[in-house]
Amino acid sequence: MISRPHWLEGVGLAYILAVLLQGLLNIVIPWFGWMTPPDSRGPVIPGLVLLGWAGVVVLVLVVWRGDLTARQWHLVVAVAAWCATPALSMVLHGSLQDTRFWPVAFTSVTVAAAGAVLSARTVRRLMYCLGWFFGWGSVLAGISDVVWGWPEVLVLDADRFAQWLAILGIDVDEVASLNGLVGGRIFLGMTCAVLLVYVVRAMTGRATPAWMWAMPVGLALAAMWSFARVGWFAILVGLLAALLPWERIRSWWLTVALLVLAIVPLVLLLTVGSKWIPDGTTRWRFDLWDEYLADPAMLGPFGIGPQNPPDWVRGHAHQQFLESQATGGWLAIAGLVGFLILGAVSVRAAAYTDNRAAIAVLFAAVAIFQIDVVTFAPTFVNLNNAFVLIVVVVLSSARVHADVQSHRHETVAIRS
């Protein structure tokens, strides 16, 4: 096995930051009036193209000197099956007009490879820095919009948010939700959820200065201000799951818990339908899933293709398993399930060393999978931050798994 050079970790970290920066630039540049936001239905995005070509170079470097464990290579392959198959599906369905999917395929796989060369310490520092940036950064941007009207990160939403506040005794005529530094309140909720569950668990198990606890407070405020229920739910599930001593429980039970949690809404749809749901925004998700499942091509080996969602207004399936089957077919589903199974085994072992922070992230991920997606969809123009963070944490944990196993074997050898 070739020893991994120190500079390769810097390359991996730089690539991950570049992917996150691409999404940020799509939000920040229009604030200054330098360009209009690109059309979301198939443009050539220069940033994505550059990331795609750079991803090829990074992949070659990781293959050459990455010193990845077998579990990490398996996870990289799972991510490739999960996220790169929409491009293959496009070829087979004859939908080649959207050039974004090709660089996204390379970028998604490279994010996994880049995350695999990061140490647990580097990942922890990265998540802490991003926690400050996306948490308090988004909150301060929202306050600036309220006071000075710039940057434009607040969006007036439907009356339902005012109705939610009325339940708490707060009467307001209109409510502005926070898009923050992510470019969409749902995406802000996802990003803050993944960061929050990670940093809270990581900080709890270490001697953390009191001032550092201001960082998760900012993430919580940003998530609440986004009014994204998917973020709130992911935070709740991630933190509750991380309280359990999973390192004392068999990996199989952790895997089953993740898979069951991810598909609960689909099971409800198929068993009791949507008639019993009073909430409109939840009801339309169930109705949308009915549209997907009613298409016979959905169950085919290559899905319906990423260019053919039943409803362009809603853009994608709003459920990760359905979205994967629709856009990538059987290979994408196999990759998603493989990622969860391999990830479960890896984060369970990592719980011995990082205080179950990785487990919190994986449970937050499947909470998001219930009602939304973290992968690239037909109406997106950059990779979802939540996808990047989840993959990086899980791939880094797979190396911790190998280190823990090695330590156990050494201990047994010494005792013998």
Residues of the chain under the 50 pLDDT cut: 1, 37, 39-42, 407-416
Please give the pLDDT value at position 119. Answer: 93
In a domain, 219, yes or no: no
In a domain, 165, yes or no: no
Please give the pLDDT value at position 28. Answer: 87
Q: How far apart are CA 214 and CA 137, in angstroms?
A: 12
Q: How far apart are CA 256 and CA 341, in angstroms?
A: 9
Assess contact for 333 and 225: CB atoms under 8 A.
no
In a domain, 150, yes or no: no
In a domain, 181, yes or no: no
Please give the pLDDT value at position 328. Answer: 93
Q: For the chain, state the CA radius of gyration.
A: 21
Give the DSSP letter of residue 243. T
CA 195 to chain CA centroid, Å, is 10
Please give the pLDDT value at position 7. Answer: 95
pTM of structure? 0.91
Please give the pLDDT value at position 30. Answer: 82
Number of domains, the chain: 1
Please give the pLDDT value at position 162. Answer: 56
Please give the pLDDT value at position 16. Answer: 98
User: Residue 353's domain spans which residues?
Assistant: 6-122+244-406
In a domain, 67, yes or no: yes
In a domain, 134, yes or no: no
Rounded to 10 deg, the angle between the 120-148 and 214-226 helix axes is: 50
Contacts of 210 (CB under 8 A, 6+ apart): none
Q: How far apart are CA 236 and CA 113, in angstroms?
A: 29
Assess contact for 30 and 37: CB atoms under 8 A.
yes
In a domain, 284, yes or no: yes
In a domain, 357, yes or no: yes
Assess contact for 375 and 390: CB atoms under 8 A.
no
Closest CA to 395 of 116, 194, 195, 16: 116
